[in-house]
Structure 1
Amino acid sequence: MQDVARLANVSTKTVSNVINGNPKATEETKQRVLEAIDLLGYRLNVTARNLRQGRTGQISLAIPELKNPYFGELADLVLEEAKSYGLKVLVQQTNFDREAELAILEGAQALGVDGVIFSPLLLGPADARYFHVDFPLVLIGESVFDVGLDHVSMSNVEAARAATEHLIDIGCRKIALIGSDPDEERGASGLRLRGYKEALTAHGLPVDRTLIAGTDRWHSDKGAAAVSTLLAKDAGIDGIVALNDLLAFGAIHELSRHGRRVPQDVAVVGFDDTEAAGYSLPSLSSVNPGRADIARNSVRFLHERITQSSGAHAAEPPRLYMAPFEVIQRDTTTPEGAQPRA
């Protein structure tokens, strides 16, 4: 760094400002420093810098499962975003285990990470005390209550309502929902159920509890089993809102096995807009919940908390960011392929 400073005719502090993106350096000075860095082949010793700052340069991402494509794709985006901040990511899977989720809140220091991005599912308001941690923590997902932490989430109610209204717009009138418990209120399941009910009510359609099929996991086999149950009731469904894409894939498989055409007989919309949605046969209409925005802002929030943890901004109030969503229409709800419905 001293060699760079001498060549650029600036102080080592100025070189440090340029390397760390400090806006104090003028454009002309910044250019001289960057040219000196290129000429000398200078490379920042990240390990030394982290040790000096009392950091490891590593964060943790704690998610329920990697088997679910949504979380796998989210993890990929978080890794890429963290790279832009010079951070490495340790990915942990809690696997729907309450004790594993509690361990995330208790074990950050033992893992040697500077902060954690955490998607809890099983912790509730009675566990609020566990969230009072002494390391930077950003929450993602929906099963989160007010614990005074930064939170990055998606518009579950509004998105599920839009997905249901999409089916109504193409003529569906007996719309089932798979993946939710009619009595659940908290978490993604309960929020998406609320959006489904709001859409039906707003359009003068009854909320029929027999058309709401719950599942304990959001996997394809559970979606197939839920549709099998609905078909056994001879409910006459002509549309399905699946609470994630895996459930939707299972639903489509089961509909086909029973001779029901998609979308001619039953239109299907999923949630998450995973990569596979565009390549299934038929391709799946799905809600894009803003996964890239969730990854980008969760890493940004955490990085800011890490760098501010000992500074004047450490006591800034918690932030809530709601990612934008979009209903992506594909073959499973293409109006041209569906028959007119009364």
Structure 2
Amino acid sequence: MARRVSIKDVAQRAGVSWKTVSNVVNERPVVRAETRDRVLAAIDELGYVPNALGRDLRGGPTRTLSLVVPELQNPYFARLAERMQSAARERGWTVSVEVSLHSPETELAHVRGLVRRPVDAVVISPSALDPSVLPHREGGPRLVLLGELLPASREVTHVVIDNAASAADVVRHLVAEGRSRLLFLGAESAVRSTATDRLAGFRAAVRFAELHPDQQLQREAPGWTREAGRDALLAVLEDGLRFDAVIGGNDLLALGALHALQERGLRVPEDVAVVGWDDIAESAWSRPGLTTIAPDLDALVDAALDAALAEDGAGTERIVAHRLVVRGSSSAGA
């Protein structure tokens, strides 16, 4: 295994002291622009990450990990952060919750460890990260991906529910309820992600049920929010397309669609059934209650922490359980 690049290596390459490198990494305004540029160039050339700096200066691990999520407006991520904080504390670790705001630069900085406060591990639910950077990641904190993006490196662990299988569960439930024209909101076709896996599972299950999928009933959404779900559903109605069930890529999309249906005088579930993912608290309180896929969040957090705190850093794909929670939005008898 190659020796980890140290702060002294960077200092030697840039022709400065290690304290100057520390000042640059920690963004202290005491370094001239020319010197800063030289240090940053050396960091980039050598593939140095500040996690090594933390160990150099303090002589040991930080016992801190970062949980990086795209936003906290989505209740799923807020609940994930709370569970992660609590479970990590029981293991004697501290969690720093960071919000990327869907910025690829911010997510990349955390993945590479190029942040102000060094940590020993990063657990990230990326929304904008280019997966091609993962095989070229040199050193840095241990990395665990949640939900999004297939890891392209054997050093990265991926913790996720089986998105394709859960989509098939949704389709089977709707078919059993007599639905045959299924609308999927939140379709994506770019890099492999939660959305693409759920869409793939949906398509396979629809074909298996011999429902003859209609591409016009697989709609993208500008975001996975209530507003996006409402707007996407209204657009489908304006196009005059016929459907008797809506599957939202997450609960927020589904709840927005539910609101739009009721706004237009359609009955749920009598006219249209609605299903989502994540089992956020709001889903149990909507009227009617929202049928949803509930991930085993405790198992997901435990698997992520096991991987983040493991000494060997070996990458695997860890799939945690899920269940379909049937409520009134898809079954009149629920």
Normalised by the shorter chain, which TM-score bucket? 0.7 to 0.9
Structure 1 residue 135 displacement after superposition: 2.1
Asked if the contact 1:63–1:119 (Cα under 8 Å) also holds between the matched residues in 2, the reply is yes
Asked if the contact 2:145–2:151 (Cα under 8 Å) also holds between the matched residues in 1, the reply is no
What does 1:272-311 correspond to in 2, within 5 Å? 272-303=278-309, 305=310, 308=311
Match of 1:156 in 2: 163
* Identity within the alignment, %: 30
Q: Secondary structure, in 3 states, of the residue corresponding to 2:269?
A: coil
Match of 2:233 in 1: 227
Q: Secondary structure, in 3 states, of the residue corresponding to 2:333?
A: helix
Matches of 1:69 and 1:287, distance apart in 2:
15
Asked if the contact 1:155–1:289 (Cα under 8 Å) also holds between the matched residues in 2, the reply is no
Matches of 2:115 and 2:265, distance apart in 1:
55
| 1:254 and 2:280 correspond | no
Match of 1:320 in 2: 317
| 1:198 and 2:195 correspond | no
Matches of 1:184 and 1:76, distance apart in 2:
31
Q: Deviations over 1:71-119 (max 9, x none)?
A: 1111111111101111111101111111111111233663132211122
Asked if the contact 1:227–1:254 (Cα under 8 Å) also holds between the matched residues in 2, the reply is yes
Structure 1 residue 185 displacement after superposition: 5.6
Q: What is the root-mean-square deviation in Å for CA atoms of aligned residues?
A: 1.9
Asked if the contact 1:108–1:135 (Cα under 8 Å) also holds between the matched residues in 2, the reply is no
- Match for 2:171: what amino acid? T
Runs of 4 or more, structure 1, over 6 Å off, are none
Match of 2:328 in 1: 331
Matches of 1:235 and 1:186, distance apart in 2:
28
Matches of 1:186 and 1:178, distance apart in 2:
17
What TM-score do you get using the length of structure 1 for normalisation? Answer: 0.77
Matches of 1:108 and 1:299, distance apart in 2:
21
Aligned positions, number: 277
Q: Secondary structure, in 3 states, of the residue corresponding to 2:96?
A: strand
Q: Deviations over 1:213-241 (max 9, x none)?
A: 11121000000011101111222211011
Structure 1 residue 56 displacement after superposition: 2.2
Structure 1 residue 245 displacement after superposition: 0.4
Structure 1 residue 125 displacement after superposition: 4.0
Asked if the contact 1:124–1:145 (Cα under 8 Å) also holds between the matched residues in 2, the reply is no
What does 1:258-273 correspond to in 2, within 5 Å? 258-273=264-279
| 1:88 and 2:94 correspond | yes
What does 1:155-174 correspond to in 2, within 5 Å? 155-174=162-181
Gaps of 5+ in 2: 1-56
What does 1:33-72 correspond to in 2, within 5 Å? 54-72=60-78
Q: Deviations over 1:284-315 (max 9, x none)?
A: 00001222211111012212x2xx3xxxxx3x
Match of 2:223 in 1: 217
Matches of 2:118 and 2:134, distance apart in 1:
24
Asked if the contact 1:120–1:144 (Cα under 8 Å) also holds between the matched residues in 2, the reply is no
Matches of 1:189 and 1:235, distance apart in 2:
22
Segment drifting more, 137-146 vs 220-229: 137-146
Q: Secondary structure, in 3 states, of the residue corresponding to 1:92?
A: strand
Q: Deviations over 1:154-192 (max 9, x none)?
A: 2111111111221111001111011113x4461111111
Matches of 1:92 and 1:125, distance apart in 2:
20
Matches of 2:114 and 2:268, distance apart in 1:
47
- Match for 1:55: what amino acid? P
Segment drifting more, 157-166 vs 111-120: 111-120
Match of 1:97 in 2: 103
Matches of 1:53 and 1:136, distance apart in 2:
18
Larger Rg: 1
Asked if the contact 1:65–1:93 (Cα under 8 Å) also holds between the matched residues in 2, the reply is yes
- Match for 1:73: what amino acid? R
Gaps of 5+ in 1: 1-50, 309-313, 338-342
| 1:177 and 2:184 correspond | yes
Q: Secondary structure, in 3 states, of the residue corresponding to 1:333?
A: coil
